[in-house]
Amino acid sequence: MKSQLVWLALLAIVSRLITLLLVQTPPEALQRLGGFLVLVKNYNAAFSINWPVWIFWPLTVGIICYVISQASGLWQKKDSDFFAWSLIAIGAVNNIIDRLHYGAVIDYIRLGWWPVFNLNDSMVVIGVGLLLLKQVKHKEKSKIINDSEKNNRQPAKNICTLYLVRHGETEGNAARRVQGQTDTPLTVKGLDQAREVAATFKDLSFSAIYSSDLLRAHRTAEVIKLDRELEVRTSKLLRERAYGSLEGKSIAEYRLFADEHLLRIEGLNEEQRWHYKKALDIESDQELVSRLMIYLREIALAHRGQTVLVVSHSGAMRLFLQRLKYLPEVFSKPGTLANCGYIELESDGITFEIIKVIGQKEPR
């Protein structure tokens, strides 16, 4: 810090001396220097650019007030903040002295491709540059830390971190059929997808694993579990939507059926749409998302400060995202969450915060 103060003091003194010397130097003497140094009275804001003068004063006063108000904290930080802000303050104050003494800022450095400026302008620009550079480095450092620790994040004591995963591809998915709560086994591709997400989660310390009791979800959970000595706890509350008599029908047939209800749904407000039932044996959006959210809250309360794996289904997960208003225009469409796509979220047992969603795709 002492060395910084010495440099700052020298810069302040040198800047004043240069101005005093140049003001007293005859123009012909400056011309002998090859045009690098000139004497220009700048009545504008900065760099001899024709900006409104009123911009200069509030900016300068604001900077000086900020530096004074933050002086103690900047000194204690003992980093580039103090040096950067001091450069800005010294440059601004020296230009103010010029304006008070000469009626204008004295500019004297001329580069062919840049407006005439002075050492004070340079100090302000360097100070701003240092602050911007520090912000960029801070963001890069934060990203590196986040990337290196994302798989080992320690949740806060009252927060549960949940990894909500969709099951792998099933024979029903491959055949483009409505599955609902009718079970079909995972395909070879589905098993591979489960192994891929297992590799992604290999460094996570799960305290518990939950799954829908449907075979496709339970099998996916078992694959992701790897060699963790944890029991996969199953629940009907994590199931896919019940589609009643439409289960086993082709997706094309279901879309024809759903299209018949479009006009009715369009005439409803948002809350009415959530409670709308296309048939008595088909769960409404609200029925599905309510049971999922209730169960996720129970899990979060039971595992505060822990990380938990939960395997469920596409329809339930998409509605969950919609209910939380997370990209509702995207996840309102079927087929927008890939097999073994997942949601990383945090919950205190009441509220939910989405950290990220992996596996978003275009609907087919």
Catalytic residues: 167, 240
Q: Are residues 107 and 172 in the same domain?
A: no
Label residue 92 by pLDDT band (50, 70, 90): confident
Q: Are residues 121 and 160 in the same domain?
A: no
Could you tell me how many residues make up the chain? Answer: 364
Q: Distance between CA 117 and CA 95 in Å, rounded? A: 11
Tens of pLDDT along 140-161?
555 554 554 555 555 567 899 9
Q: Please tell me which residue, 113 or 102, carries the higher pLDDT value.
A: 102
* Confidence (pLDDT) at 77: 45
Reported as half-sphere exposure (CB side, CA atoms, 13 A), residue 5 has a value of 5
In a domain? residue 77: yes
Tens of pLDDT along 331-350?
777 778 999 999 999 999 99
Query: Which of 13-17, 55-59, 118-122 bottoms out in mean pLDDT, i.e. has the lowest?
Result: 55-59
The mean pLDDT of the chain is: 82
* Confidence (pLDDT) at 145: 46
Task: Give the global pTM.
Answer: 0.58
CATH number of the domain residue 296 falls in: 3.40.50.1240
Q: What percent of the chain is predicted at pLDDT more than 90?
A: 47
In a domain? residue 337: yes
Q: Distance between CA 314 and CA 322 in Å, rounded? A: 12
* Confidence (pLDDT) at 67: 57
Q: Are residues 44 and 177 in the same domain?
A: no
Please report where in the chains the tokens 């996969």 appear, as a residue: 232
Q: Are residues 227 and 335 in the same domain?
A: yes
In a domain? residue 30: yes
In a domain? residue 144: no
Q: Are residues 185 and 131 in the same domain?
A: no
* Confidence (pLDDT) at 15: 77
Among 81, 116, 138, which residue terminates a domain? 138
Tens of pLDDT along 257-287?
988 888 888 889 989 999 999 999 999 999 9
Number of H helices, E strands in the chain: 14, 9
Among 110, 138, 166, which residue terminates a domain? 138
Q: Which domain holds residue 307?
A: 150-360
Q: Are residues 166 and 288 in the same domain?
A: yes
Q: Are residues 246 and 174 in the same domain?
A: yes
In a domain? residue 294: yes
Mean pLDDT of 198-206: 96
Q: Are residues 125 and 235 in the same domain?
A: no
Q: Are residues 294 and 179 in the same domain?
A: yes
In a domain? residue 143: no
Q: Please tell me which residue, 26 or 35, carries the higher pLDDT value.
A: 26
Domain count, the chain: 2
Which residues, including other chains, have CB under 8 Å from residue 214's CB and lie 6 or more apart? 167, 181, 183, 239, 240, 313
Mean pLDDT of 249-261: 90
Among 105, 138, 171, which residue terminates a domain? 138
Q: Are residues 101 and 155 in the same domain?
A: no
In a domain? residue 145: no
Q: Are residues 130 and 274 in the same domain?
A: no
Q: Are residues 157 and 122 in the same domain?
A: no
Report CA Rg, the chain.
33
Return the closest-CA partner of residue 293 out of 272, 312, 269: 312
In a domain? residue 308: yes
